[in-house]
A and B are shown apart, each in its own frame.
Chain A
Amino acid sequence: MPLIKLNHIFKYYSSHFIKTFVLQDVNMEIEESEFVTIMGPSGAGKSTLLYIMGMLDEPNDGEYYYKDQPVHKMTEKMRTELHKHEIGFVFQSYHLIDELTVYENIETPLLYQKVKSSEKKGMVADILDRFNIVAKKKLFPHQLSGGQQQLVGIARAIVARPSLILADEPTGNLNSQQGEEIMDLLTILNKNGTTIVQVTHSLKNARYGNRIINLLDGRIVEETQL
């Protein structure tokens, strides 16, 4: 049973009766514990594909099965449950909540999961430590550099120990050493059973995964098994 199964996915935007296709006939299967990399030029539709996988957006055509369950038939509630317990999302543009401190941003997914307070503190502290941002925990996003914000975004995505991590250019704004550390972290998580789908422009980072999917103008043009 594949974790993610995409059948003939189409995504388009129509304006003035002209359809602009962003995704065209995308077919894909991702097994549990895979580490998949999506690559392609800017505007190829990578983020769109990730949004669809993360159930934040819906395809205009085609089917998406998550653990053999048809996503288009899921209720909003069921999707929220998945967001709560199984899926962690790293945004290309971080999307931290401006009104919350670093600590509170990271804590938020745990709040929605009703994790016990003592346990929660431990989990957040652990992550802060692992990302080396303990000193920044009381700062607000606008007080951080772009790279720091990205770290917080990643920390927030993994704190609840999701079984699927969707990461949109997680290292785009990090220096090479930080980037390596993050990739190592993702690798460890993957070794422990977490499925990872990442979008990246860097071939070096792509090599951390076991499969590379190349996207061009919304179509899969090449698949490389590593």
Chain B
Amino acid sequence: MFKSYLKIAVRNLWRNKSYTFINLFGLSIGIAATLLIVIYILFQFSYDRFHVNKDSLYRISVSHQNEGKLEYESPVYTPSIGPTMKRDFPEVEDFVRISTPRPVFVQYNGTAIRINTACFADTAFFKLFSFELLAGNPRTALIAPYSIVLSEKTAKKIFPKQDPLNQIITINKRAQFTVTGIVKDPPQNSTIQFEALISFSTLYRMPNVYMGWNGGNQYITFVKLNRNTQAGKVDKKLPGLMWRNFNKDMASIGLVDKAYLQPLTKIHVFYDNLSGKTFLYLLIFATVAILILLMACVNYVNLSTSLSLKRAREIGVRKVLGADKYHLIMQFLTESFLLSTLSFGLSLFLVELFFPIFTNLAGVEISLSNFMQVKLALISLLVVFLVGFLAGSYPAFYISSFQAVKTLKGIFKTKKGKQGLRNSLVVFQFSIAVILIISTILIQRQLNFMNNMDLGFKKDNIVVLNLPYDEVRQKSTLIKQMLLTVPEVQKVSLCSAVPISGFTQNGYFPEGSQAPVLIHVVDADKDFFDLFHIPVVAGRKFSSDFQTDKQAYMINETLAKSLNWSDPIGKTIRRNGVHPVIGVVKNFHFATLYDKIEPLIITNRPVNNQFSTIAIRAESANWPQTIQSIRTVWNRIVPTAPFEYYFLDQAFDHLYRFEQRFKNIFFSFSLLAFLIALLGLYSLSSYSTEQRTKEVGIRKTLGASTMEIIRLFARNFTLLVVIANLIAFPISWYIMNTLLQNFAYRISIGWFTFVLAGCISLFTAVFTVSVQALKTALINPVEALRYE
């Protein structure tokens, strides 16, 4: 029986080649898009799952509250919480602290190499995590102070030929470390990324490193709970521990730290990146994937119910010959399953083809072979089944319920109601397409807005140099002077950081307040303001004319406002001495645009009297050459230090690369969805014109013009697209309004986007239909009449 179903299915698909092609095309694109998104989502969820202990590992995250108000939340905390938990909680089997990654300079045999991410890590690192040691002993590698474990890639860079194990390398020109291990590079789907690990015990040997409870927030702590211990049990005990060790002392000034556990495997999707919104973004992608698939199915449903008219008689005959409804339904489902299987095959080819483009868009480096796994196979099977069923079931039930006698007498017509269903499906498709178009335009506008926003400072034409270590930093003033001799260079400023992704915070006692207030701070010399075009709105900026300016502070408008200082000049702020406020700068964005501008202090004296960054404003027609001139200056003064630079505006773009990628993916898939909707419209209109070829012929002999005939066909479809737009407008407004709330600085949605989306959808739809209509209208009427 099945063989007969299959045979009929193949013949039918073959007989309606052009419609089959449209269906195949739409479905395979839909399936391919879905598979790509599934792969992407699977990859996002695969983060940190390679650890054997993944289910018992947790990261500690701390939310910092001031006077009951959440200030910020971060897993970067004091080094004390891990050991204390292990001591006090029997449930905690072990812990690992990992410092925030820092760049270091490695010297060996006269070559200097920069390692961007070196982390201090506890001995238990290799016991808890499943990073594979290629050389060295996992139990002992991180015990002794001044031990370093290098990643495979780093080891190759430093030791192209020798065996690195037990070699001595110099770091930051200060201390000597022994290489105790080589570790396989962390896979891309690892939250913990590093190029080198340094034994945590080293920290205790270093001066000025604070290891207590009241500061030094530089460490991320992971704990491993005993088997069968629920995280909730530990979470319940944490407030007590926090009270005993920290909150009790801080209660008087209103500070409360709340710690809780984050399961390791949930960190990537639920806590980190895109300010914790990854899950939301994945949800959006998944929705878009499902919508694309649905739209492709809708095309199939619309086409096959239309085409069913041609097959009505066949159904009638079969019924008379004893076919059950069941047989007929199976017959049509076989057809749709055959089509979905074929489309799936085709989509695999498309996935293969588009995978590089997709990974590039998405900014992930994954190889397809990683995903030839059971999960994907199962999901694929599900997709094939779902498509076959979704697309096939309605036509199957609809067609199999035809009344035999009517189909046989040839008086069979589709009911008006079915026309209605087809129309609503077209409206559904176009609503989705228009929603996606509007969202894409708005996302693009928001990104443009962020790129072009008045940040309160000028980010163009600024080159930033990092001063890697003390020896270089001590020569910063000399470097600055020499840089100013380069003709293209206009301004140079020494500072502790440039405004891009936020400044550090410290506790200060502003005049009149008893408790310390956490305020952002940046150290900068007097040229900082001119260089970045940051205007001073009250008082004056730092000046070399006043020796006392080394102690002076400048503040931003927000700080003045939050302290209720109407005349801030002359007020004082206490921290390691008393500092007078000499000036107020106009607000500028020193953090991401997700955040509002917060209070800021600008000091004139850097930590240890050394600036770590140089910002250069230059006007150049030939940047490579200008960079070369800057490098020459650098090499003359600090020849052995690695020269590293970046352009501030490029770094700024990099900051929003997640958003940019999100937009890229979203844009591509919206385009696909729109294409599929158009394809559906194309096939429906081609069917309806084909049906009415004879009518057109008669009308033409009666004197209808080509334009009138096009109008005849386009009217109905145009109306549908207009309705789709009207439905899409409020929905997309609601969705985008909600999404944009995440940005502290955002575009106003406005009506223009809607008009644009409406025009795009209407124009393309009318065009698609008209092409079809035109084809029919141009047929010689005699031929059209013979068509019957």
Contacts and interface: CB of A to CB of B under 8 A. Distances in A.
Interface stretch (B281-289, B322-330, B480-488, B669-677): B322-330
Interface string B312-337: 01101111111111010000000000
A112 B322 contact: yes
Contacts of A99: 8, 11-12, 15, 314
Interface string B402-430: 00110010000000000000000000000
Contacts of B11: 99
Contacts of A98: 314
A178 interface: no
Interface stretch (A78-86, A127-135, A194-202): A78-86
Interface stretch (A34-42, A49-57, A212-220): A49-57
Interface of B: 1, 4, 7-8, 11-12, 15, 313-314, 316-325, 327, 404-405, 408
Contact of B323 (A57, A80, A100): A80
A76 interface: yes
18 contacts: A54-B320, A56-B408, A77-B324, A80-B322, A83-B319, A83-B322, A85-B322, A89-B320, A91-B317, A98-B314, A99-B12, A104-B4, A108-B321, A109-B321, A109-B322, A111-B1, A112-B322, A112-B323
B contacts with A: majority SS: helix
A94 to B, nearest CB: 9
B318 A95 contact: no
A156 interface: yes
Given A80-B323, A99-B8, 8 more contacts: A56-B320, A77-B324, A95-B316, A97-B318, A98-B314, A99-B11, A109-B322, A113-B322
Interface string A113-152: 1100000000000000000000000000000000000000
Contact of B314 (A57, A97, A156): A97
A82 to B, nearest CB: 8
Nearest to B12: A99
Contact of A100 (B1, B8, B316, B404): B8
A109 B317 CA distance: 10
A109 B4 CA distance: 12
Nearest to B321: A109
Contacts of B323: 80, 112
A114 B405 contact: no
Nearest to B315: A97
A53 to B, nearest CB: 12
A160 B323 CA distance: 13
Contacts of A83: 319-322
Contacts of A89: 320
Given A51-B405, A56-B408, A80 B318 contact: no
A108 B318 contact: yes
A57 B313 CA distance: 15
Nearest to A76: B325
A114 B318 contact: no
A64 to B, nearest CB: 14
Nearest to A153: B317
B334 to A, nearest CB: 13
A100 B7 CA distance: 9
B324 to A, nearest CB: 5
A75 B407 CA distance: 20
A160 B322 CA distance: 10
Contacts of B8: 99-100
Nearest to A100: B8
Nearest to A54: B320
A80 B324 contact: yes
Contacts of A56: 320, 404-405, 408
